[in-house]
Structure 1
Amino acid sequence: MANVQASKYLVPGLERGLQLLLTFGAQHRELSFAELHRLVAMPKATAYRIVQTLEYMGFLERNARTNTFSLGMNVLRLGFEYIASLDVAQVGQPVIEQLRDSSQCSSHLAIRDGHDLVYIARVSAAGSRINQVSIGTRLPVHRTSLGRMLLTDVSRAEFEQLFPDERLPGNAPGQVQEREALWQMVLQDRARGYVIGESFYRPGISSIVYPVFDRDGRVAAVVSIMVPFDEVPHSDRERLRNEVRFAADKISGFLGYLPKAG
């Protein structure tokens, strides 16, 4: 019902323009107008006007030799300026590289965007056989240990706005299904100050996650390492946990966070 209500306020022209931009990807880096029109569900005249508008605004770029279109610099600017404006990606990259070297585990930096966590920096461990995520990858915030740590910054009211139904979206086996159960986990994570997610999202892969705080004491991001075991080996658990904590504290310091005395 909520989606039907929200759809009343959509701007058709904007929706179609974004739909057209989304046709470009790894499989469609350059497209002719005929190919574009075939891939989008809209009248030819409408598609033509949208293409002309997007080209004029720099969101599409025409190759005069092949008469094909590709994404323009303004699309890249939107993404890169958003990431750069966070500062955390820039200051965090060398820190997670150091974390990778000291832990010998792939390291990541992620933020929350609504219902999703978004990876904004990553480095792979040498010889890692773990299928790595890419920068910009989105995952459901309630299905991952990184997402749980990001949720520790929200109030109960904000949490219920994110998840208005008692049943959580999706039904992946072995993962928490009820909103209240997730909230109780988030409260425990907040009190503990970190998460060790052992095969929480992906079987055979564990993670250690710590929050990064901004100058206002809000959770700006999370730092994590991926450990290629069902359980983090007890012989390494404390060492790895302290290395992730140190990395998170270092990035927090760069962002101007001053921990409270005592």
Structure 2
Amino acid sequence: MNNDESLTQENDYRVPALQRGMAIVQMFSAQQRTLGMSDIAERLGLSISAIYRIVHTLNEMGYLRKLAKNTYELGPQVVSDGFSYLASRDIVDIALPHLNALRDRTSLSCHLSIREQTDSLYIYRAFAAQRLSVNIPIGTRIPCHCTAMGRVLLTGLSPAALDNLYQHVRLDDYPPPAPKTLPELQQLILKDRERGWVLHRSDYSVAIACGIHNHLGEVVAAINLSGPESVMDSPVARERFRESLQESAQAIARELGGNWIK
């Protein structure tokens, strides 16, 4: 078999619709967050009618999300099933030594998370090997409004974006101190944003969290210090832990080329 025959055979195995679908998803980036149907068609060199079913299928599967008539952004499915974790490797690699050092200084467990829709996804932990240590495995997802790191991640959203994210989410199924209504959540996040950090108590443990900001001032991740209530109960100790946590967040943000907000 010559090279031309081999190339023809390889082309026979291609699925054009799948190829176009993947090409559409790859068109979106941090610089190109939204695209119209006509933009997509033009980039592929096809007519709108030729790509309509592909775009509709991607939207139905959650890989695209329709914002307005014929306007789309990447959908939640792109960052689910491990995609967010893979895309976050840079921040894990940068944060890892800082969180390990923070754990060693404080003897408390540290975690790193990013937001996936309404969940806080844990992507790294520096585990403090103590009898009463808090140990949340990598890959764990917890609703943002129920945790310190999750609430920090929500502070990166505008009030309108927060309202849009939670407009169809029930909040009254979660135990206190989680907010029960969207207005209550909005007020809580407003105060969290002004404070610049969050303290959360649950099951005899306490967590303090703050955000990691990029060069645009956007919250791209959150880190925490968490430990037993008996260790974190002292106001003096909590203040010391908070300062150490924020110093680590500042160092991570600098390496990411980002800002420090509060």
Q: How high is the TM-score relative to the length of structure 2?
A: 0.64
**Aligned equivalent of 1:177:** 180
Give the counterpart letter for 1:189 in structure 2.
D
Q: Equivalent residues in 2 for 1:1-262 (5 A)? A: 10=60, 79=82, 82-130=85-133, 132-165=135-168, 168=171, 170-197=173-200, 199=201, 202-229=202-229, 232-259=233-260
Query: Which ranges in structure 2 are unaligned for 5 or more consecutive residues?
Result: 1-55, 62-80
Q: Distance in 2 between matches of 1:91 and 1:253?
A: 10
Q: CA deviation at 1:213?
A: 0.6
After superposing the two structures, state which structure 1 stretch, 165-174 or 138-147, moved more: 165-174
Give the counterpart letter for 1:171 in structure 2.
Y
Q: CA deviation at 1:142?
A: 1.2
Query: Aligned pair in 2 of structure 1 residues 214, 129: CA closer, same or farther (>3 Å)?
Result: same
SS at match of 1:107: strand
After superposing the two structures, state which structure 1 stretch, 174-183 or 217-226, moved more: 174-183
Query: Aligned pair in 2 of structure 1 residues 83, 128: CA closer, same or farther (>3 Å)?
Result: farther
Q: Distance in 2 between matches of 1:234 and 1:258?
A: 28
Whether contact under 8 Å (1:166, 1:180) holds in the other structure is no
Query: Which ranges in structure 1 are unaligned for 5 or more consecutive residues?
Result: 1-5, 12-77
Q: CA deviation at 1:257?
A: 1.3
Q: Distance in 1 between matches of 2:104 and 2:149?
A: 21
Query: Aligned pair in 2 of structure 1 residues 85, 174: CA closer, same or farther (>3 Å)?
Result: closer
Q: What do residues 9-57 of structure 1 show as CA deviations (whole Å, max 9, x unaligned)?
A: 756xxxxxxxxxxxxxxxxxxxxxxxxxxxxxxxxxxxxxxxxxxxxxx
Q: Distance in 1 between matches of 2:260 and 2:109?
A: 27
**Aligned equivalent of 2:49:** none
Q: How high is the TM-score relative to the length of structure 1?
A: 0.64
Q: Distance in 1 between matches of 2:153 and 2:118?
A: 11
Q: Distance in 2 between matches of 1:188 and 1:102?
A: 29
Query: Aligned pair in 2 of structure 1 residues 157, 105: CA closer, same or farther (>3 Å)?
Result: same
Q: Distance in 1 between matches of 2:234 and 2:196?
A: 20
Whether contact under 8 Å (1:168, 1:177) holds in the other structure is yes
Q: CA deviation at 1:217?
A: 1.3
Query: Aligned pair in 2 of structure 1 residues 220, 129: CA closer, same or farther (>3 Å)?
Result: same
Whether contact under 8 Å (1:153, 1:218) holds in the other structure is yes
Whether contact under 8 Å (1:210, 1:248) holds in the other structure is yes
